[in-house]
């Protein structure tokens, strides 16, 4: 007999969620299929306050989801309780896959598909924000795609109302690669924090890369706060500059410089897409009206991508054969699509304050050493780097900067000056002086006569 939760009978295992297992289940009376999110905790609570906060969060998720009915948000149908504590959530079952699963197969996504998902995401967020709800964990794993390609936002487990009465602690909540700078710095978040996370998701869909990726958690968090990624159009030329500017504005470090709301971002994205489509339509019209018999299937290149165009003079039979082939291919693709296992890309992390303090101390120590280098105090900088590396020997950045500081120190040393005394060259003797010397050494004629008389 299958496992039963309230009125729901489990049919199959879908995956592991943030608080327990997720099953495909069916309501025993009305037959509705749901995604059953059960509570199976694998950790122990530190104290009663920790336990109370956890169940308050579950209750908050239930209340928030119950308040929302939107085509781009996963619907909550039912909540189960045990001893007045939430034991399961029965939500809409999306017969498709997560965006995470899709990105694992295809990077980047086709431009139209990526923009369609982004549009659905912004619509869902605009609705949630209008209800005073901030998601706080927008990422590919929490975006589900139906078989028709519609995107739905899921998992409001770490969502928070704008004016929450729950105690706010200085802890890091979210998924590192998709956090906003406000979340990393544990400062108050607003709906614009969700817009930053949306920008990260859009960037990944359009370029195939995460804009703030790094090998270590500390590197990711540093990049989120400090790194300005290249424009999406520079990474993927198929992305138009106008769409790239929309993404760049979503990724602004300061919330004030992002879009004022998800609705405003959606309007700008729609305008950017309409501009692109208008260009494509005009180009297609020119191509179709051009009677070029040597090109039966002309290809028009607009500012976004290559759009294959079918000429008007294609025979009717060929047209229907092509159409039937496309329909059959699409049907086969939908039939073969695997159901998503809703796994987190990375577990949602809650980093203790002690670790945040450690990261801040490391950053201050490196910045102090760099300041010494910039001020020309190379010897002191080397000592600072040595102290840092003694504590964190695996730091590649510190080792490289220490090597550079050593090089600058060696170059700054005064070089000993060696004075070379050039030897004075022997004075040159002229031919006349040499001849005069020879004359002085040669005996005169009278001296030779006297020597002859003396018998010498």
Query: Tell me: the pLDDT tens digits for 164-214?
Result: 444 344 455 578 999 999 999 989 899 999 999 999 999 999 999 999 999
Specify the 3-state DSSP secondary structure of 307.
Answer: strand
Average pLDDT, the chain: 76
The token duo for 38 is 């059960």
**Domain 4-92 top-level CATH class:** alpha beta
The whole-angstrom separation of Cα 164 and Cα 63 is: 13
The partner residues of 24 in beta bridges, in order of sequence, read 12, 35
Rg (CA), the chain: 38
The token duo for 275 is 């501009």
| pLDDT tens string 306-342 | 333 333 333 444 444 544 554 455 454 444 444 443 4
Fold of the domain spanning 96-336: Transferase(Phosphotransferase); domain 1 (1.10.510)
Specify the 3-state DSSP secondary structure of 6.
Answer: coil
Helix (H) or strand (E) segment spanning residue 146: strand 143-146
pLDDT of 73: 95
| Backbone phi and psi for residue 315, each to the nearest 5 degrees, phi listed first | -60, 150
CA atoms within 13 A on the CB side of 147: 12
Domain boundaries along the sequence of the chain = 4-92, 96-336, 352-411
137, 155, 194, 302: the catalytic one is 137
Sign of CA dihedral 222, 173, 128, 76: positive
The token duo for 430 is 């002229």
The token duo for 448 is 């030779």
| pLDDT tens string 123-141 | 999 999 998 889 989 999 9
> What pairing do the DSSP bridges indicate for beta strands 172-174 and 151-153?
unpaired
Strands (DSSP E) along 40-104, which ranges? 76-82, 85-92, 96-98
| pLDDT tens string 47-62 | 777 777 777 777 877 7
| pLDDT tens string 397-443 | 888 888 988 988 888 877 655 555 555 555 554 455 554 555 555 56
The token duo for 386 is 């040595």
User: Is-catalytic flag, 357?
Assistant: no
């Amino acid at each position: 007999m299958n496992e039963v939760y309230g009125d729901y009978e489990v049919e199959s295992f879908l995956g592991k969620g943030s608080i327990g297992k997720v099953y495909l289940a069916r309501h025993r009376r009305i037959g509705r299929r749901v995604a059953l999110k059960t509570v199976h905790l694998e950790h122990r609570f530190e104290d009663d306050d920790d336990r109370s906060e956890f169940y308050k969060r579950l209750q908050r998720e239930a209340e928030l989801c119950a308040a929302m009915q939107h085509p781009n948000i996963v619907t909550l149908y039912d909540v189960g309780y045990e001893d007045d504590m939430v034991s399961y959530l029965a939500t809409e079952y999306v017969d498709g896959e997560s965006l995470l699963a899709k990105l694992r197969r295809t990077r980047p996504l086709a431009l139209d598909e990526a923009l369609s998902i982004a549009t659905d995401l912004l619509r869902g967020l605009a609705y949630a924000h209008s209800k005073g709800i901030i998601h706080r964990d927008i990422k590919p794993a929490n975006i589900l795609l139906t078989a028709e390609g519609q995107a739905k936002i899921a998992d409001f487990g770490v969502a928070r109302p704008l004016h929450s009465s729950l105690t706010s602690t200085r802890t890091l909540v979210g998924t590192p690669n998709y956090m906003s700078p406000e979340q990393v710095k544990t400062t108050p978040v607003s709906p614009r924090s969700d817009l930053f996370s949306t920008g990260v998701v859009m960037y990944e869909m359009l370029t195939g890369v995460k804009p703030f990726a790094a090998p270590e958690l500390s590197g990711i968090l540093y990049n989120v706060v400090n790194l300005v990624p290249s424009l999406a159009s520079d990474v993927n030329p198929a992305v138009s500059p106008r769409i790239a500017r929309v993404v760049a504005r979503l990724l602004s470090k300061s919330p004030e410089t992002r879009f004022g709301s998800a609705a405003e971002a959606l309007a700008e994205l729609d305008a950017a897409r309409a501009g692109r489509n208008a260009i494509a339509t005009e180009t297609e019209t020119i191509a179709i009206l051009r009677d070029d018999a040597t090109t039966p299937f002309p290809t028009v290149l607009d500012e976004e991508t290559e759009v294959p165009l079918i000429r008007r003079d294609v025979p009717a039979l060929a047209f229907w054969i092509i159409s039937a082939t496309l329909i059959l291919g699409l049907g086969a693709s939908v039939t073969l699509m695997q159901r998503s296992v809703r796994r987190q890309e990375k577990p949602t992390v809650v980093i203790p304050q002690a670790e945040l303090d450690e990261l801040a101390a490391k950053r201050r120590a490196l910045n102090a050493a760099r300041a010494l280098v910039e001020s020309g105090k190379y010897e002191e900088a080397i000592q600072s780097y040595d102290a840092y590396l003694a504590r964190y020997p695996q730091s590649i950045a510190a080792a490289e900067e220490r090597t550079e500081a050593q090089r600058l120190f060696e170059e700054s040393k005064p070089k000993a000056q060696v004075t070379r005394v050039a030897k004075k060259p022997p004075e040159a003797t002229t031919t006349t002086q040499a001849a005069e010397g020879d004359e002085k050494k040669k005996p005169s004629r009278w001296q030779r006569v006297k020597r002859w008389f003396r018998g010498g």
